[in-house]
């Protein structure tokens, strides 16, 4: 929370910090905050140990430290993609709000991937302090299901989904480790609450800054 407040404040005042973490699939390397504004979080070569990822019915799970953000996913089927030009859209950018875990479906069939192929997913996130990038190197498989102990939980709400050709967001109902199957209502009120409290926190801080000046 303290971290987030700092992030929002710096966003307002100078715009420095960069915060979202790819939770699933496993990212190329350990999250490096300072490198997140660069290609693949600064990891320029594909991981040698790839994990399997479902051709359809997959999901991307992230942790957002920004209360409002847009997120999208790009796909490359090159062995070792080294630039943004090597990628094409797998999930169009959409807006979401709320801090904490956020999970959304991805269908690589729609993005033109085929089973057995090596692929790299690049998650692009913008929480107000510029675009941030994390990558995951995978092997696409049409007979792989994401293990049920992998968390796909939303503490957040999404809006204006413009996912290209993918199935509806509810098509994937991955098992949530925290059992949030019927918690969408709760989640959205929780996230409005957190926005409300962030807003009031901000006004307090704004007043403090004004008082200092
Ligand atoms: Cu940030």
- Domains parsed from the chain with CATH numbers: 2-212 (2.60.40.2550)
Contact, 56 vs 43, CB < 8 A? Answer: no
pTM of the model: 0.68
Cα 9 to middle of ligand 1, angstroms: 10
Average pLDDT over residues 58-68: 96
Can you give 176-204 as a three-state secondary structure string?
CCCCCCCCHHHHHHHHHHHHHHHHHHHHH
- Rounded distance, CA 75 to CA 121, Å? 5
Q: 28 CA distance to ligand 1 centroid (A)?
A: 20
The residues, any chain, with a CB within 8 Å of residue 94's CB and separated by 6 or more, are: 70, 71, 72, 104, 158, 159, 160, 161, 162, 163
**The predicted structure's pLDDT at residue 19:** 87
Q: What's the gap in Å between 89 CA and the centre of ligand 1?
A: 24
> 32 — alpha (psi -120 to 50), left (phi > 0) or beta?
beta
Query: What does the pLDDT read at residue 166?
Result: 39
Q: How far is the CA of 59 from the centre of ligand 1 (A)?
A: 23
pLDDT at residue number 18: 56
Q: Give pLDDT tens digits for 158-207.
A: 665 554 443 334 333 344 444 333 333 333 333 433 433 444 444 444 44
**Ligand 1 geometric centre to CA of 159 (Å):** 21
Please write the tens of the pLDDT for every residue from 79-115. Answer: 999 999 999 999 999 999 999 999 999 999 988 899 9
Residue 210 to residue 128: CA distance in whole angstroms: 22
Distance in Å, CA 7 to ligand 1 centroid: 5
């Amino acid at each position: 929370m303290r971290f987030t407040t700092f992030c929002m404040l710096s966003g307002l005042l100078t715009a420095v910090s960069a915060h979202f973490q790819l939770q699933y699939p496993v990212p190329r390397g350990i999250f490096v905050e300072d490198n997140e504004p660069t290609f693949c979080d600064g990891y320029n070569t594909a991981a040698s140990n790839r994990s399997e990822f479902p051709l359809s019915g997959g999901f991307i799970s992230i942790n957002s430290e920004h209360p409002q953000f847009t997120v999208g996913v790009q796909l490359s089927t090159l062995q070792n993609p080294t630039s943004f030009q090597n990628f094409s859209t797998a999930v169009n950018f959409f807006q979401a709000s709320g801090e904490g875990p956020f999970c959304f479906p991805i269908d690589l069939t729609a993005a033109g991937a085929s089973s057995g192929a090596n692929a790299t997913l690049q998650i692009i996130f913008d929480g107000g302090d510029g675009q941030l990038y994390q990558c995951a190197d995978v092997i696409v498989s049409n007979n792989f299901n994401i293990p049920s102990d992998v968390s796909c939980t939303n503490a957040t709400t999404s809006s204006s989904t413009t996912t290209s050709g993918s199935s509806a967001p509810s098509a994937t109902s991955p098992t949530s480790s925290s059992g949030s199957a019927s918690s969408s209502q709760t989640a959205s009120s929780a996230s409005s609450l957190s926005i409300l409290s962030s807003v009031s926190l901000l006004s307090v801080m704004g007043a403090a800054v004004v008082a200092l000046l």
